[in-house]
Structure 1
Amino acid sequence: MKVDGGIGTDLHKVAEQAKQAEAAGYSGAWTAETSHDPFFPLLLAAEHTTTLELGTSIAVAFARSPMTLANTGWDLQSFSKGRFVMGLGSQIKPHITKRFSMEWSHPAARMREMVLAMRAIWDCWLNGTALNFRGEFYTHTLMTPFFAPAASDISAYGVPKIFLAGVGELMTEVAGEVCDGFICHGFTTEKYLREVTIPALARGRAKAGKTMEGFEIVGPSFVVTGTDKAEMAAAIDGTRQQIAFYGSTPAYKNVLDIHGWGGLQEQLNALSKQGGWVEMGSLITDEILNTFAVVGEPE
């Protein structure tokens, strides 16, 4: 088992955060794509560490093309000396179409093709294989020496590992089939992980003629704690809000359904459309909180 941490987005602080994480014995550190680019901090983290595994959790795949992701992943793998993990996620349709102004359709099939396209591009650069990827969503058939990075950049390390985030079974199967690891959503429970996620990953691995051996699963979680009652109360309230926010998303309803809480998703979704964010948090009971979060009382 590995224990990882996170890296913030303030580029003035990233180097020190990464050094502290490595000194504390963390195996890896991850960035997220929210209000800032997820790749830039990893460049600084790589410069100031030597053993820390560095990854995105997640970079929004459908906001980019396989070629741009392949370039970024190649350079970070080279600069970090083999420590980079390309963690990808699909986001949801409104963000892809309305925030990023990109296409959305058949997300699981599109993601599978994106990963395979990236691997074809890396194979071209590393092994000199002719680039001839032709898919339903992506086509890459042109690569001249001028645009191909040197194989020696990463030949000592190999191509980056690709991890995929998901909640639904189709995307999870894709991760098992074509990726090296899976990033669980924070909005995941032990029951959902055991009964839905792991079986879906195993089905994907079987499609590729592989077992779960060597396949990595990243399990982020909500952690509720504090040094006194006031901090504990604030952490509880904040986590209730986070759970409510994710629970309002229709694509995540299956996680609630498995616990018999499917009706809650509809309530949360309706409130979100009315701007009732504070009220949403009040619908997260102690039972739900303790199911999704690790809650530790201050001693």
Structure 2
Amino acid sequence: MAADLENAGCSGLWSIEAGSDPLLPLALAAASTSRMLLGTAVAVALARNPVVLGQAAHDLNVLASGRFVLGLGSQVKTHIVRRYGLEWSHPAARMREFVGALRAVWACWNDGAPLDFQGEYYRHTLMTPTFAPDPSPYGPPRVMLAGVGDIMTRLAGEVADGFAGHPLTTPQYLAEVTLPALQRGRELSGRDRSGFTVMAPVLVVTGSDAAATDAALAATRLQIGFYASTPAYRTVLESVGAGAVGPRLTELSKRGEWDEMGRLVSDELVEAFAVVAHPKDLVAAIRARFDGLLDRAALYAPYDVANDVWHTVLESATNERRADR
């Protein structure tokens, strides 16, 4: 699939941590492609160890000839504690240290720096030659951090090379909450926005015919309902005047009534959080909504999509680029 999409003009492929590991599929994609960017959007950092994840990311970046981007997210307390069985506290502080530890490990391997990272949550002070990989000719992977709230978003601006937005977002939220927080983070680090990438997975509803589009719409309602049931994302719902539906969705999620959650997602919520368009019009619709707010948009379809649909989308993107010239 990666080779087919690259040949059709796709410039990037992102892997999520859902039903499969986010890193393993990208090893296959790296070996099968030569131009497209490959990244995780996202891998759950606080369920992992910096050295273990740093090794996998180092190896992937070498395999991809420097095209790999490590997108990291903290996840929420319920999943870290109940799904992964780990401790939860001070997620932003932990994430700051996690990124610092990653960079210390990579500096040890690539630059020969002594490994001496000693934080409150992570401590790495031993790296013998047997366990150190060869330096990467491409340097360390770029790191993107995901965030929704002000604190984690500001941290991304301060310590990361880019920001991965959440699919449950709107142009208004990006303009009024996300971008100002990123700017404050960049100012704290003494850097401007140059070289910093703002990306978001954009929920899309599309299909080759009416039946496929209806199925896509139903699946997208379920996905919006799932995300909106998370209390941590309540501020995004409130920003579109739908704060009251959040607690109802949370209660349904606790009872496992997933289909009922989709029925609570109105047409207005779909319109707020997803781009609905025919494949040939999808790129123009995304550009109209997010131009000037995102540097990259990843097409996020939580349903099966036929390859010819993606080819139509990519062809329209190519035609737009030609028109811009």
> TM-score w.r.t. structure 1 length?
0.90
Structure 2 CA distance for aligned equivalents of residues 274 and 41 of structure 1: 32
Specify the SS of the correspondent of 1:82. Answer: coil
Per the TM alignment, residue 274 of structure 1 is displaced from its structure 2 partner at its CA by 2.7
Specify the SS of the correspondent of 1:220. Answer: strand
Q: Does 1:239 align with 2:220?
A: yes
Structure 2 CA distance for aligned equivalents of residues 272 and 69 of structure 1: 31
2:85 corresponds to: 101
Counterpart residue identity of residue 184, structure 1: G
Per the TM alignment, residue 298 of structure 1 is displaced from its structure 2 partner at its CA by 8.0
Q: Does 1:202 align with 2:183?
A: yes
Unaligned runs of 5+ in 2: 281-325
Task: Specify which of 235, 248, 252 is matched with residue 254 of structure 1.
Answer: 235
Specify the SS of the correspondent of 1:164. Answer: strand
Deviates more, 1:113-122 or 1:259-268: 259-268
Structure 2 CA distance for aligned equivalents of residues 118 and 67 of structure 1: 7
Task: Specify which of 20, 38, 45 is matched with residue 54 of structure 1.
Answer: 38
Counterpart residue identity of residue 105, structure 1: S
Structure 2 CA distance for aligned equivalents of residues 231 and 164 of structure 1: 33
Contact 2:26–2:38, Cα closer than 8 Å, also in 1? yes
Structure 1 CA distance for aligned equivalents of residues 20 and 265 of structure 2: 29
Task: Specify which of 119, 133, 150 is matched with residue 149 of structure 1.
Answer: 133
1:278 corresponds to: 259
Any residues of structure 2 matched to 1:2-17 within 5 Å, and which? 17=1
Task: Specify which of 155, 180, 184 is matched with residue 165 of structure 2.
Answer: 184
1:268 corresponds to: 249
Contact 2:150–2:178, Cα closer than 8 Å, also in 1? yes
Per the TM alignment, residue 114 of structure 1 is displaced from its structure 2 partner at its CA by 0.0
Contact 2:146–2:165, Cα closer than 8 Å, also in 1? yes
Per the TM alignment, residue 45 of structure 1 is displaced from its structure 2 partner at its CA by 1.1
Per the TM alignment, residue 241 of structure 1 is displaced from its structure 2 partner at its CA by 1.3
Contact 1:165–1:183, Cα closer than 8 Å, also in 2? yes
Per the TM alignment, residue 185 of structure 1 is displaced from its structure 2 partner at its CA by 0.9
2:22 corresponds to: 38
Counterpart residue identity of residue 24, structure 1: A
Q: Does 1:75 align with 2:56?
A: no
Q: Which has the higher contact order (CA 8 A, sep 6+)?
A: 2
1:88 corresponds to: 72
Contact 1:229–1:298, Cα closer than 8 Å, also in 2? no
Unaligned runs of 5+ in 1: 1-16
> TM-score w.r.t. structure 2 length?
0.83
Specify the SS of the correspondent of 1:46. Answer: helix
Q: Does 1:168 align with 2:149?
A: yes
Any residues of structure 2 matched to 1:21-36 within 5 Å, and which? 21-36=5-20
CA RMSD of aligned residues (A): 1.5
Specify the SS of the correspondent of 2:38. Answer: strand
Per the TM alignment, residue 297 of structure 1 is displaced from its structure 2 partner at its CA by 5.2
Structure 2 CA distance for aligned equivalents of residues 102 and 210 of structure 1: 34
Counterpart residue identity of residue 63, structure 1: A
Q: How many residues align?
A: 280
Specify the SS of the correspondent of 2:72. Answer: strand
Specify the SS of the correspondent of 2:201. Answer: coil
Structure 2 CA distance for aligned equivalents of residues 226 and 77 of structure 1: 34
Per the TM alignment, residue 283 of structure 1 is displaced from its structure 2 partner at its CA by 2.0
1:4 corresponds to: none
Specify the SS of the correspondent of 2:46. Answer: helix
Structure 1 CA distance for aligned equivalents of residues 54 and 258 of structure 2: 38
Structure 1 CA distance for aligned equivalents of residues 206 and 129 of structure 2: 54
